[in-house]
């Protein structure tokens, strides 16, 4: 039970990053290899705001998330926009380039030493029956659940959400209806980047904040996406959660040093046995 | 009064010219049919009007204003609504949502007003009523066509561009679609109608143009086109009745 709780918490992080990853695939057909860097940057902004500038914790969070949303727009304008008519591969390469650039930028500006941040709450956690709920893991799960609910509400209940969906399903048709397609794509980038940033901020108190976290998180998000079903939103969430749980159980019962290998293993198993993932894509790209 | 005036329109994809100097006008209140065989450049003409063809020269003037070089979003805001080839209903959205998004070109439409207008459309296209919560991809071709036209009308356009609305539909549904086109004009909307089904199109149109590989072959009133032997042989023969 304890392990399930921990796995669920770490899985929620993967789910958030995977969600941002999937949204970009759907809205802009962008396979973003910089998704892990979004989390890394979010965590570093938190380090700078809270540790370095000594801003209040909540203010640091709000500023970091807002800055990450703005960063998403900059990221889109530089890595995606100039190449948007060139098809998938040039943009993929451009996001790989951006991710390398961002990691090195952080190394230059902040330095290679890993940083640590405090958790959301001072209290270590609460005991519920046999399970000790660590306050940070609990925060992760609650925030992730709220974000998923919020996203669902926006996508399913608002006109903006419908326009975002329409843009992801058929950009040319959306433009013929007068939907500002470029704005919709920028909104998606901003949201995706903010989601990654929030994941980074949430996971920072558990991991050390370092440039290495980016690649690791990106790999997990990618694996979550394949496990859940490529391009599927519920798949990203379930894929992330199941990955977190498998990884935690694996570390506990099989081997701690090989913890990260379980993601690879699960990815390989799914690619071999069920390449369409848990949720095979039901909606074709075009009607 | 001229609503749309196209002069010397040249459109290119890659190397070759697809439209080679097309002249075409649509007057306010008319239904104009644009006919021609597959690959003649009919869809390209509509796409050029809507701002979807990057590489073009010549003039396109709508309601007295040049629209060449404007983005599709801007052109639909001026009042040209395009129901494209293949219907392009959003597969993952419901009928109701698809229709509602048709009003995206108009600013300041309240939620309530939008819901009222969608209701009106569901009244007009009565067959869609029971499907209002069905997702786009589950619809038949004829149902998709209704949704696409309803969505196009939600823009409250002055000019409606319809690209092969009868394609792939059963004869009974085709007749229904053409009745709707006549109704749309009766409500005051001007229509530029692209069709391979010349018999049906000239049945509702005031004037027609016949395109052949990017050039105008002939234009005129339906009876003039019917009596032109060249046109009859090429486009208005038995084959055109299909669909
Ligand atoms: N996106 C495109 N790229 C290259 N060629 C195209 C494209 N779209 C249409 N064409 C070519 O332009 C010509 C006219 O096409 P189109 O306007 O679709 O004809 P129609 O609608 O009359 O059947 C055809 O030869 C077609 O192959
Ligand atoms: Mg065509």
Average pLDDT over every residue of B214-235: 85
Of B88, B106, B137, nearest to A283 by CB-CB distance is: B137
**pLDDT digit string, tens, across residues B71-116:** 999 999 999 999 999 999 999 999 999 999 999 999 989 999 999 9
Q: Is A113 on the interface with B (CB under 8 A)?
A: no
- Ordered by start, the domain boundaries in chain B are 2-88+157-235
3-state helix, strand, coil in chain B (%, to 5): 40, 30, 30
pLDDT greater than 50 at residue B242: no
Q: Give pLDDT, residue B240.
A: 42
Which of A160, A178, A281, A282 to mutate to test binding with chain B, by most B CBs within 10 Å of its CB?
A: A178
A37: containing domain: 2-212
For A170-209, the pLDDT digits (tens) are 999 999 999 999 999 999 999 999 999 999 999 888 888 8
Which tokens go with A219? 């790999």
Could you report the per-residue pLDDT of A124-147, keeping only the tens digit for each?
778 877 877 788 888 899 999 999
pLDDT of residue A118: 79
A160 and B CB contact within 8 Å: no
Least CB-CB distance to B88: which of A159, A165, A287?
A287
Q: Does A286 touch chain B (CB under 8 A)?
A: yes
pLDDT above 80 (res B171): yes
State how many domains chain A has.
1
B15 lines ligand 1 (CB under 6 A): no
| b/e per residue A160-188 (b: at least 16 CB within 10 A) | ebbbbbbbbbbbebbbbbbbbbeebbbbb
C-alpha distance from A11 to closest chain B C-alpha (Å): 28
Is the CB of residue B89 less than 8 Å from the CB of residue B139? yes
Q: Is A253 domain-assigned?
A: no
**For residue A45, is it within any domain?**
yes
Q: Going edge to edge, which strands form the sheet with B56-62?
A: B16-27, B2-13, B56-62, B65-66
Closest-CA residue in chain B for A169?
B90
On whether residue A111 sits in a domain, the answer given is yes
For chain A, the 3-state helix, strand and coil shares in percent, each to the nearest 5, are 75, 5, 25
A218 located within any domain: no
Q: What is the pLDDT of residue A119?
A: 77
In a domain, A228, yes or no: no
Chain A residues whose CB is inside 8 A of the B73 CB are: 175, 178-181
User: CA-to-CA distance for A264 and A131, rounded, in angstroms?
Assistant: 29
**What would the mean pLDDT of B57-79 be, rounded to a whole number?**
96
Domain-embedded: residue A120: yes
Which among B88, B107, B89, B106 has a CA at the least distance from the CA of B98?
A: B89
Mean pLDDT, chain A, as a whole number? 86
In this model, does residue A284 exceed pLDDT 60? no
Kindly report, residue by residue over B192-212, the tens digit of the pLDDT. Answer: 999 988 888 999 999 999 998
Distance CA A136, CA A133 (A): 8
Q: How far does the CA of residue B89 sit from the closest CA of chain A (Å)?
A: 7
Choose, out of A26, A168, A173, the residue to mutate when testing the contact with B (most B CBs < 10 Å). Answer: A173
Q: Identify whether A281 is part of a domain.
A: no
Q: How far is CA A12 from CA A6, A16, A146, B218, B235, in A?
A: 10, 6, 11, 65, 62
The answer to whether the CB atoms of B101 and A181 lie below 8 A apart is no
What CATH fold (topology level) applies to the domain B2-88+157-235?
Answer: Rossmann fold (3.40.50)
Asked whether the predicted pLDDT for residue A287 surpasses 60, the reply is no
A178 touches chain B (CB under 8 A): yes
Q: Would you say residue A126 lies in a domain?
A: yes
CA of B40, nearest ligand number: 1
CB of B90 within 8 Å of any CB in chain A?
yes
Q: How confident is the model at residue A215 (pLDDT cuts 50, 70, 90)?
A: confident
Of B77, B86, B93, the CB nearest to A165: B93
């Amino acid at each position: 039970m304890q392990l399930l709780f921990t796995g669920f918490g770490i899985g929620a992080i993967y789910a958030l990053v995977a969600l941002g990853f999937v949204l970009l695939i759907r809205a802009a057909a962008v396979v973003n290899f910089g998704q892990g860097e979004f989390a890394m940057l979010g965590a570093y902004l938190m380090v700078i705001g809270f540790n370095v500038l000594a801003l209040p914790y909540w203010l640091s969070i709000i500023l970091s998330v807002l800055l990450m949303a703005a960063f998403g727009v900059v990221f889109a304008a530089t890595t995606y926009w100039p190449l948007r008519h060139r098809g998938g591969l040039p943009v993929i390469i451009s996001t790989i380039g951006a991710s390398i650039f961002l990691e090195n930028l952080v190394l230059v500006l902040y330095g290679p030493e890993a940083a640590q941040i405090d958790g959301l709450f001072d209290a270590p956690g609460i005991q519920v029956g046999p399970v000790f709920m660590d306050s940070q893991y609990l925060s992760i799960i609650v925030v992730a659940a709220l974000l998923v609910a919020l996203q669902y509400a926006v996508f399913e209940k608002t006109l903006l959400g419908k326009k975002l969906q329409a843009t992801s399903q058929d950009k040319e048709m959306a433009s013929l209806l007068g939907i500002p397609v470029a704005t919709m794509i920028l909104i998606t980038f901003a949201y995706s980047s903010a989601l990654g940033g929030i994941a980074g901020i949430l996971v920072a108190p558990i991991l050390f904040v370092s440039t290495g976290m980016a690649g690791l998180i990106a790999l997990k998000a990618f694996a979550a996406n394949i496990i859940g079903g490529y391009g599927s939103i519920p798949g990203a969430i379930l894929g992330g959660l199941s990955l977190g749980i498998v990884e935690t159980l694996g570390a506990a019962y099989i081997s701690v040093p090989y913890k990260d290998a379980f993601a690879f293993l699960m990815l390989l198993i799914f690619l071999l046995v069920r390449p369409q993932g848990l949720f095979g894509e039901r909606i074709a790209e075009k009607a | 009064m001229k609503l749309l005036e196209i002069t010397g329109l040249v459109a290119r994809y890659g190397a070759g010219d697809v439209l080679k100097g097309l002249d075409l006008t649509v007057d306010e209140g008319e239904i104009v049919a644009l006919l021609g065989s597959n690959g003649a450049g009919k869809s390209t003409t509509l796409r050029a009007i809507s701002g979807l063809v990057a590489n073009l020269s010549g003039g396109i003037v709508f309601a007295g204003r040049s629209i060449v070089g404007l983005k599709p979003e801007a052109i639909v805001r001026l009042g040209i609504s395009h129901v494209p080839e293949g219907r392009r209903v959003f597969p993952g959205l419901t009928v109701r949502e698809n229709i509602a998004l048709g009003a995206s070109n108009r600013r300041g439409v309240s939620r309530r007003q939008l819901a009222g207008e969608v209701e009106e459309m569901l009244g007009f296209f009565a067959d869609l009523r029971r499907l209002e919560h069905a997702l786009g991809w589950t619809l038949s071709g004829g149902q998709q066509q209704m949704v696409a036209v309803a969505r196009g009308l939600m823009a409250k356009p002055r000019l409606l561009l319809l690209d092969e609305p009868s394609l792939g539909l059963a004869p009974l549904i085709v007749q229904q679609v053409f009745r709707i086109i006549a109704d749309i004009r009766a409500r005051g909307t001007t229509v530029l109608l692209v069709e391979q089904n010349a018999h049906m199109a000239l049945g509702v149109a005031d004037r027609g143009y016949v395109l052949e590989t990017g050039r105008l072959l002939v234009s005129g009133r339906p009876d003039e086109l019917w009596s032109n032997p060249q046109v009859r042989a090429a486009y208005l023969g038995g084959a055109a009745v299909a669909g």
